[in-house]
């Protein structure tokens, strides 16, 4: 897509959305419409220095689009309520399902390609595996209302007869990286661990409450946000087969590996303390996630992913230490 293309990004004040805008700017795209709720001062540094053409409140987006008729060339719908501890499904249904349907229908009507954020939370406890096949969403049992809301939208999309000219629903695994400073409890383990080390010299990790896993050896597919936006950009330009795609590295690593990499980036010896997993999330806690990345690879994505050690070192040294933004 040429550099004059108009691109709309929802969730642009948030973590992945603001990194997407920063990435597009670095690639020479400045005709960007950013959409979010812009009333949180903590999010301001995520977007205030970005090159854009318009900033639109999420709640007024469709009125704004009616009042500003223009050709939009691509939509990244990365805005969502991402709180996995939100148990009021009505809130999640409104923000993650109904709003996403409006975005989808707008893209269908205006013939605009769309990439939207799904989540690995759709996979539940992983008993059915982590393949991004299109028959799987109907069998999945997400562990929390957030995962359920993402899966409901995926299921709705797969049944829709009318589709954008190209679409991809990305099942993000454990994404980490700059611009998550505002996320508080929902920020990545890397962010929290870094702050714990600065404060006390040690890191607290959840104990295992399953005998088959040792403490700290719960596994996750940790993916650096730079790889995430790289793939989003590739999808925008290449437009492979439409569908759901996993977005992780394809290689699960332990929380102990993760924390060890943070200590190493700070030239410190690891000091780890294990604490009970909070009761409110204990029975909804995933012990293993690993993206099956074959579909994206078979469609032609060739780039290597940051290893956990490379990603952590880049994040810690280039961003966290001086609280820099991407």
Q: Which residue numbers are catalytic? A: 146, 183
Within a 13 Å sphere around the CA of 89, how many CA atoms are in the beta-carbon half? 10
With beta carbons less than 8 A apart as the criterion, state whether 85 and 284 touch. no
Q: Tokens 């670095």 appear where?
A: 26
Strand residue runs (E) in 173-230: 174-176, 203-206, 219-220, 222-224
Question: In this structure, what token pair is assigned to residue 56?
Answer: 């639109």
User: Is residue 35 within 8 Å of residue 59, measured between CB atoms?
Assistant: no
Q: Are strands 272-275 and 74-77 parallel, antiparallel or unpaired?
A: unpaired
By CB atoms closer than 10 A (0-12, 13-18, 19+), residue 314 is: middle
Closest CA to 261 of 194, 171, 175: 194
Helices marked H in 81-142 = 89-92, 99-110
Burial 277-302 (b: 16+ CB within 10 A, else e): beeeeeebbbebbbbbbebbeebebe
Query: Residue 47 in contact with residue 18, Cβ under 8 Å?
Result: yes
In 100-255, the DSSP E strands lie at 114-119, 167-172, 174-176, 203-206, 219-220, 222-224, 243-247, 253-254
């Amino acid at each position: 897509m040429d550099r004059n293309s108009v691109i709309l990004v929802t969730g642009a004040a948030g973590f992945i959305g603001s990194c997407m805008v920063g990435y597009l700017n670095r690639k020479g795209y400045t005709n960007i419409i950013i959409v979010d709720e812009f009333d949180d001062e903590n999010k301001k540094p995520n977007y205030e220095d970005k090159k854009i053409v318009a900033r639109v409140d999420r709640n007024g987006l469709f009125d704004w689009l009616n009042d500003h008729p223009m050709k939009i060339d691509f939509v990244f719908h990365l805005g969502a309520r991402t709180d996995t501890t939100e148990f009021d499904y009505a809130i999640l249904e409104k923000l993650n399902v109904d709003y996403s349907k409006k975005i989808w229908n707008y893209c269908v009507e205006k013939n605009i390609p769309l990439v939207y954020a799904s989540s690995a939370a759709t996979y539940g406890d992983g008993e059915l595996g982590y393949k991004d096949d299109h028959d799987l969403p109907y069998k999945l049992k997400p562990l929390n209302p957030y995962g359920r809301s993402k899966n409901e939208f995926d299921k709705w999309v797969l049944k829709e007869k009318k589709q954008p000219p190209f679409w991809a629903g990305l099942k993000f695994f454990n994404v980490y990286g700059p611009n998550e400073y505002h996320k508080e409890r929902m920020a990545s383990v890397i962010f929290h661990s870094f702050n714990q080390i600065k404060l006390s010299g040690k890191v607290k990790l959840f104990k295992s409450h399953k005998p088959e896993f040792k403490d700290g050896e719960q596994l996750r597919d940790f993916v650096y946000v730079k790889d995430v936006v790289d793939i989003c950009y590739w999808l925008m330009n290449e437009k492979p087969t439409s569908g759901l795609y996993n977005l992780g590295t394809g290689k699960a690593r332990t929380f102990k590996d993760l924390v060890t990499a943070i200590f190493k980036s700070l030239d410190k010896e690891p000091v780890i303390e294990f604490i009970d997993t909070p009761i409110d999330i204990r029975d909804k806690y995933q012990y293993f996630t690993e993206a099956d990345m074959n579909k994206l690879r078979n469609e032609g994505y060739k780039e290597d992913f940051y290893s956990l050690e490379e990603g952590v070192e880049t994040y810690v040294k280039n961003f966290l230490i001086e609280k820099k933004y991407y």
